[in-house]
Structure 1
Amino acid sequence: MAKRWALSWSGGKDACMVLDQLVKQGEEVVCLMTTLPKETSRTFGHGESKELIQAQADALGIPLEWIPCSFDSYTENFISELNSFKRKYELDGVAFGDLYLAEHRQWGENVAKQAALEAIYPLWMKKEEALLALKNFVESGYRAKIIRVSNGFLDEKWLGREIDTSFLNDIQETGICPMGEAGEYHSYVYSGPLFRYRVPVKSGEILELETTKRMELSLQ
């Protein structure tokens, strides 16, 4: 019998591949969850607008739940909302898109445990398998753009690039994790096999932040 999962949703390629894998395995993803810091009103992971994340959920046909949080009480807020979603959706567990950073997995397993839920990491791998994971994404049929880069690793010329074969080749020359697991870059998925239609996005201005640069996307 298929289990009922909530998926931690950043809007990027990793979360998308978790969704794709779970669906192919016959599991049921009953809601997407996205954290929204009260201090910024933009997503915690990538700094995206609410409208862009909602547009993805609409295109996928999966309910989206926001987790309002504060930087000072992030974990407590997450657990509280997870308990609420557990009751609302009759959840069995929560799925995360982390790849190989042990401290991230430890955090997710802890918050799930606090809500008496199972935590799964469908993409979990060895660090050296990251290049193959990126290749799998490129060949998956999903389409994504680079929307944020860390100043210490990539410059702004990477912003707006499609994650395609050209990107796969070029990222290997940088020496960073090909999947950007340490936050070297972030992405936004706008089309693919599970999307009922393409999310119509256009690239906008580039913003210089404290340690990163972000390309603003907007809906057409």
Structure 2
Amino acid sequence: MPKYDINIHKFHEKKKRFLAREQAIINSAIRLAKKQGIANITISLIAKHAGIGKGTIYKHFISKTEILMRILLDYENKIIASLQLSMGATDSDPFAPIQLYLKMRLADPRLDRLMQQLEDQLKYDIQVAKSMAQFYALRRSNIASINEAILLLIKKGLLQDAPSSHYYFSYLALVQGAVDLSLAGNFKLDTDDRESFLSFILEIGTTMGKTSS
């Protein structure tokens, strides 16, 4: 193998290891934040959980705040990528984007709650002001995709004719309410009850406003 090709191979392998380690840091931060709360996690705890040195984390992120911002952006990017794919499936299933959005938000209530908490904590942090602007741009894109799907359903006569914003805010209220209830200690939903409840909410969300056509 020519030396040039060997160097390229080594570069790609090094980059692959770097990205894998970065993802391990993010995953560890998510698990710790879900379990212990955002305020109680530190760079040292994340490093220990990820099985790497504290100094190694600073090769990827300059601060805990930057890690938290990355988590928030990754979550929103995952939603937008999935919505874009589902928009291409509307011919076979017009409700695919709505169902997918609700599924993603309800799949892991603790993760969704964490995202809400991160947004509340970071939206006024000047350290990540540019990143938050990027996050809200992604959010607007997601809302636009959902509204596009809603308008298509109305046009096809599959949803009752109402402003798309009414549907979107209804989905939002349904998801956030379901997340809050599934995690509320006073309701004491066990694992099976919680899964059944969230499946029921998903069914309600995808049939809300549906016509008999």
TM-score bracket, normalised by the shorter chain, equals: under 0.3
Report which of the two structures shows the higher radius of gyration computed on alpha carbons. Answer: 2
Structure having the higher helix fraction is 2
Structure having the higher strand fraction is 1
* TM-score (normalised: structure 2): 0.25
* TM-score (normalised: structure 1): 0.24
